[in-house]
Structure 1
Amino acid sequence: MAIISDVSSDYFRIPLPVPLSDSTHGLIPNFELVTVTVRDADGAQGVGYTYTVGRNGRSVQAAANEIAELARHQDADLAEALWKSIWWAMHYGGRGGPTVLALSAFDMAIWDLKSKRANLPLWRMLGGYDPKVPVYAGGVDLDFPLDQLLRQAEGFIDQGFRAIKMKVGRKNLAEDVARVAAMREMLGDSFPLMVDANMKWSVDEAIRAARALAPFNPGWLEEPTIPDDIAGHARIVSEGGLPVATGENMRTIWEFQQMITIGRVSYPEPDVTNCGGITPFMKIAHLAEAHNLPVTSHGAHDVTVHLLAAVPNRSYLEAHGFGLEKYLAEPLRIEDGFAIAPERPGHGIEFDWNRLKALKA
Structure 2
Amino acid sequence: MSHRIINMTVRDVRFPTSLEQHGSDAMVSLYRFTRRINKRTRLRPLLFLSTLQHTDPDYSVAYVVLDTESGLKGFGFTFTLGKGTEIVVSAVQALAGLVVGKSLEEIVSNFREFYRLLTSDGQMRWLGPEKGVIQLATAAVLNAVWDLWARAEDKPLWKLLVDMDPKKIVSCIDFRYITDVLTEEEALDILVKAQEGKQQRENQMLNEGYPAYTTSCAWLGYTDQQLKQLCTDALKSGWTKFKVKVGADLQDDMRRCRLIRQMIGPNSTLMIDANQRWDVDEAISWVSALAEVKPLWIEEPTSPDDILGHAAISKALAPLGIGVATGEQCHNRVMFKQFLQASALQFVQIDSCRVGSVNENLAVLLMAHKFRVPVCPHAGGVGLCELVQHLILFDYICVSADLNNRMCEYVDHLHEHFRSPVVIKNAHYMAPKDAGYSCEMFESSVETHQYPEGGVWKLHMKK
Distance in 1, Cα, partners of 2:84 & 2:307: 26
| Matched-pair contact (CA < 8 Å) for 2:278–2:302 | yes
Deviations 1:254-278 (A, max 9, x none): 0110111114310111211111211
Question: Which segment is superposed worse, 176-185 or 25-34?
Answer: 25-34
- Distance verdict in 2 for CA 1:304–1:190, change over 3 Å: same
- Counterpart of 2:256 (choices 165, 174, 179) is 179
- Distance verdict in 2 for CA 1:237–1:104, change over 3 Å: same
| Matched-pair contact (CA < 8 Å) for 1:298–1:320 | no
Distance in 1, Cα, partners of 2:411 & 2:326: 15
Distance in 1, Cα, partners of 2:386 & 2:90: 25
Q: Which residue of 2 aligns with 1:100?
A: 135
Question: Which segment is superposed worse, 155-164 or 224-233?
Answer: 155-164
- The one-letter code matched in structure 2 to 1:81 is E
Give the 5 Å matches for 1:92-171. Answer: 92-95=126-129, 96-127=131-162, 130=202, 131=205, 132-139=209-216, 141-171=219-249
Q: Which residue of 2 aligns with 1:42?
A: 70
1:316 aligns with 2:407: yes
Q: Which residue of 2 aligns with 1:9?
A: 10
Question: Which segment is superposed worse, 332-341 or 311-320?
Answer: 311-320
Query: How far 1:122 sits from its partner (Å)?
Result: 0.7
Distance in 1, Cα, partners of 2:65 & 2:357: 14
- Distance verdict in 2 for CA 1:83–1:327, change over 3 Å: same
| Matched-pair contact (CA < 8 Å) for 2:147–2:439 | no
Query: How far 1:6 sits from its partner (Å)?
Result: 1.7
Secondary structure (helix, strand or coil) at the match of 2:232 reads helix
1:292 aligns with 2:372: yes
Distance in 1, Cα, partners of 2:77 & 2:235: 28
- The one-letter code matched in structure 2 to 1:229 is D
Distance in 2, Cα, partners of 1:19 & 1:178: 20
Q: Which residue of 2 aligns with 1:278?
A: 358
Q: Which residue of 1 aligns with 2:273?
A: 196
- Distance verdict in 2 for CA 1:349–1:93, change over 3 Å: closer
Q: Which residue of 2 aligns with 1:22?
A: 25
Query: How far 1:306 sits from its partner (Å)?
Result: 0.7
Give the 5 Å matches for 1:68-79. Answer: 68-76=96-104, 77-78=107-108, 79=111
Q: Which residue of 2 aligns with 1:59?
A: 87
| Matched-pair contact (CA < 8 Å) for 1:7–1:68 | yes
Secondary structure (helix, strand or coil) at the match of 1:91 reads helix
The TM-score with structure 1 as length reference comes to: 0.94
Query: How far 1:159 sits from its partner (Å)?
Result: 4.5
Secondary structure (helix, strand or coil) at the match of 2:101 reads coil
| Matched-pair contact (CA < 8 Å) for 1:230–1:263 | no
Q: Which residue of 1 aligns with 2:60?
A: 32
Distance in 1, Cα, partners of 2:239 & 2:64: 31
Distance in 2, Cα, partners of 1:325 & 1:252: 27
Unpaired runs of 5+ in structure 2?
Answer: 30-53, 164-200, 453-463
| Matched-pair contact (CA < 8 Å) for 2:136–2:353 | yes
Q: Which residue of 1 aligns with 2:167?
A: none
Distance in 2, Cα, partners of 1:293 & 1:237: 13
- The one-letter code matched in structure 2 to 1:42 is S
The TM-score with structure 2 as length reference comes to: 0.74
| Matched-pair contact (CA < 8 Å) for 1:116–1:346 | yes
Query: How far 1:210 sits from its partner (Å)?
Result: 2.1
Which has a greater percent of strand? 1
Secondary structure (helix, strand or coil) at the match of 1:127 reads helix
- Distance verdict in 2 for CA 1:160–1:91, change over 3 Å: farther
- The one-letter code matched in structure 2 to 1:8 is T
Query: How far 1:184 sits from its partner (Å)?
Result: 0.6
- Which structure 1 residue ranges, 4+ long, deviate > 6 Å from structure 2? none
Q: Which residue of 2 aligns with 1:303?
A: 387
Secondary structure (helix, strand or coil) at the match of 2:14 reads strand
- The one-letter code matched in structure 2 to 1:308 is I
Aligned length in residues: 359
1:213 aligns with 2:216: no
- The one-letter code matched in structure 2 to 1:338 is H
| Matched-pair contact (CA < 8 Å) for 2:220–2:245 | yes
Query: How far 1:150 sits from its partner (Å)?
Result: 2.2
Deviations 1:124-167 (A, max 9, x none): 11126543211111236112222222222223334543311110
Question: Which segment is superposed worse, 82-91 or 16-25?
Answer: 16-25
Distance in 2, Cα, partners of 1:152 & 1:100: 36
- The one-letter code matched in structure 2 to 1:334 is I
Query: How far 1:349 sits from its partner (Å)?
Result: 4.2
1:91 aligns with 2:125: yes
Query: How far 1:12 sits from its partner (Å)?
Result: 1.3
Query: How far 1:205 sits from its partner (Å)?
Result: 1.0
Percent identity (aligned): 27
| Matched-pair contact (CA < 8 Å) for 2:63–2:76 | yes
CA RMSD, aligned part only?
A: 1.8
Query: How far 1:217 sits from its partner (Å)?
Result: 1.5
- Distance verdict in 2 for CA 1:98–1:112, change over 3 Å: same
Distance in 1, Cα, partners of 2:286 & 2:317: 8
| Matched-pair contact (CA < 8 Å) for 1:232–1:263 | no
